Structure 1
């Protein structure tokens, strides 16, 4: 399996992903992983339109993504995996997806959340999950674009909670 990068970005495929991340990582497939997206024709069609030319696209439920990656379905591809939220990453990890590192790029602010940086706001549940994943040995960074430093997310969380 050649997962080049795992990113949490609620916008999924958008300008930064389509132009900056795919080219910087030199990927040839984007895998969008979210249980709700696979059931929403409007979102599926929007993702297909947003997909950069020459890049293959897979839109998968969390369970199917884990099955496909673990079965080696994308072994010939260089894949950028996009999750819409932190909970889906945790679920994929719990189901057996090998995750050693991932990046939180954009989660917009909602009522009751903690803003840890300009583009990332987290619920208490997100923070608990992230701390658990880091304790499990996963490197979690917060990074908007590839040339921004890949800083450990806990440093942003701890600073926001001071």
Structure 2
């Protein structure tokens, strides 16, 4: 029996927006977008806004991170899944729940107090770097890339 294929997990604090919908989901050939984030899973208004940006014909699901395995089990066996999380903590929690999350794109982490810019759209603090080190040690393939086809930026910045 074929199980759903997790194509990519992306860290993007904006979750579903135009870039994710028009470029990443299309490039990956995703049939399902899963937003794994506790706050978004509880915010139906935000979900409605994100659904407006989602590509036509692609299913969207908004789940607490802890529900990933049950959600994957409910999908059609041939589903092509693109998971979006808000931050490194969500990504690490996903990795702890399922072995299927291994390829993680760091796409957008806004600048805020205590963070340092390490790539065009990625700002990190020491906690973020520690989480990325833990994910890398657990076997994650981590890379910074804004959109498909663009250069991978500063690959060592996530863990150094």
TM-score (norm 1): 0.89
Unaligned runs of 5+ residues in structure 2 are none
Match of 2:105, SS state, is: strand
How far did 1:97 drift? 4.2
Match of 2:18 among 10, 15, 27: 15
How far did 1:137 drift? 1.7
Match of 2:79, SS state, is: coil
Match of 2:38, SS state, is: coil
Match of 2:8 among 5, 26, 44: 5
Residue equivalent to 1:58: 61
Unaligned runs of 5+ residues in structure 1 are none
Worse-matched range after superposition: 96-105 or 86-95: 96-105
Match of 1:131 among 127, 130, 133: 133
TM-score (norm 2): 0.90
Worse-matched range after superposition: 9-18 or 93-102: 93-102
Structure 1 contact 68–74 (Cα < 8 Å) conserved: no
How far did 1:33 drift? 0.7
Aligned positions, number? 157
Q: Is 2:118 aligned against 1:116?
A: yes
